Structure 1
Amino acid sequence: MARTRGRTSNGSQASEPAEASSSASTAQPDGHDAQTAVASSSTPSRDPFAYHPVDLAPTDALPYFDRDLELQPGLRAKVDALIAAEQSTMTAVDPSSSRLPPAYVPFSTRPDLRAELERVGSGQPSSHRLDTHRYTLSAPEAGADASVEEWQTAVDNAHAQLGHMDVRLKNIELLKRYGSNAWRLSNFQQEQQIRMLSEQVEALKAETNEVNRLRQKEQTDAGAKLSVLEKRWTELITRGLQLEVANITTKGEIETLQSKKRKLEQQLAQLD
């Protein structure tokens, strides 16, 4: 019985490590997955919206040197025909396409200004006119028989006109005292701005001319080198053709001499 219990206990003890090992083996993939998840989370993801430089193909155009369109008759017409044929295969962009920006609607939040803009664009006369009645000193139409309210309105209008004239006189006095100096200062500031802008324009023109001059020099030098290389290439091609013709001629002469040799050998053999 003890042996049986011992065996049973040993068996149970043996089964426990087996279960532990199996649980460990089953837990190992989870740990591997966790490591993979950590590694994948630690790997920086590439931002699809980030700027990535694009390698452009170098251009071989030399507009300051290439004059094929001017020198070769009919070449410009062929180029224009090819461009027109290419454009005919292109589909026109729909105005409602998402690739185009939305149409600009002026005064979208101000219907009154938009209506006024449409009126001016159509050339219609304005329905709003300046009210000149408020700028006149008119007495009540009833005269002495007018009511107190009508006379009070006329007096208020007179006070308003008097205040308006007082403001105008003060503005004229200020303009006489300070207007000339302010005008001179404004003219001086505008002249300085014009001078600065003119200097900037001249600097940009000089820089543009310098860039164009360097481009013309580089392209002219490159064109001269290309002309020399093209001439050399033509000479080498011509020499190669001459050598090929000479080789063919030499082979023909060799074959002719060999045929003569065979004939002479046959004749000598017949004489022997």
Structure 2
Amino acid sequence: MAGEVVVDALPYFDHGYDEPGVREAAIALVEEETRRYRPTKNYLDYLPPPNYNAFETEMMKNEFERLQARLPMEMMNMKRYELPTPTAGKMTDISAWTECLENSQAQLEHQALRILNLDLMQEYGASAWKMYNGVLSQMLDQAQKQLQDLRKKIQEINWQRKNEQSVAGSKLEQLESSWVGLVSKNYEIERACAEVEKEIQEIQQRQGKR
């Protein structure tokens, strides 16, 4: 395959990484390759333009505009909680008093609902919170179990790599030892052949003189 790089390093088996000059040589190789690397002007051209407003709600948009304009935050409108009486000109107006009465009834209902919610929270809030904490604890246990499984898989992969590299390293040592032995034998055979050829030449020379 074109451009394929074969990595022949066996970090679990090889030695000598801590020797002087090895780290400097590796850094020099990286810097040399970096000088040959010519990145494009914009390597993100193939991606669509980002939509920064995809998750922006109308309320968020208004708040961002307020912050950009450096305007103060609008105070909470408490008018709906007020119980104003009719104005001086409408003190005898039945419809004005009716509106004030409906407003007060709505306020009373709202406060009654708040009291009901507080009573419910006081009675069931602790149990609901315990259930919520239980769900969080269960989620935490699941996340920790996933983390342990991932760490176990990583460890198994590392052990597998170490075992494969140790086997490959031992085989390489055997092959290297065999290669050294064959080279030595070939050298001995070549030397013996040279000595035999020399003896033959001497014999031929002695026979030629007779």
TM-score under structure 2 length normalisation:
0.72
Q: Deviations over 1:205-251 (max 9, x none)?
A: 22332232222122212211211211121121122223223333443
Letter in 1 for 2:72: S
Letter in 1 for 2:174: V
Letter in 2 for 1:127: P
Q: Which consecutive unaligned segments of at least 5 residues does structure 1 have?
A: 1-55, 266-272
1:85 maps to 2:32:
yes
Number of residue-to-residue matches in the alignment: 203
TM-score under structure 1 length normalisation:
0.58
Q: Alignment identity in percent?
A: 26
Tell me the equivalent position of 1:95.
42
Please say if residues 139 and 151 of structure 1, whose CA atoms lie closer than 8 Å, have aligned partners that are also in contact: no
1:241 maps to 2:154:
no
User: How has the CA–CA distance of structure 1 residues 162 and 130 changed in structure 2, closer, same or farther, with 3 Å as cutoff?
Assistant: farther
Q: 1:144 offset after TM fit, Å?
A: 7.3
Which of 127, 130, 133 matches 1:187? 133
CA distance in structure 2 between the partners assigned to 1:251 and 1:190 by the alignment: 89
Q: Deviations over 1:19-76 (max 9, x none)?
A: xxxxxxxxxxxxxxxxxxxxxxxxxxxxxxxxxxxxx8986543322335x0554233
Trace 1:214-253 onto structure 2 (pairs within 5 A).
214-253=160-199
Tell me the equivalent position of 1:76.
23
State the Cα RMSD in Å: 3.8
Tell me the equivalent position of 2:118.
172
Q: 1:85 offset after TM fit, Å?
A: 2.2
Tell me the equivalent position of 1:131.
76
User: How has the CA–CA distance of structure 1 residues 207 and 127 changed in structure 2, closer, same or farther, with 3 Å as cutoff?
Assistant: same
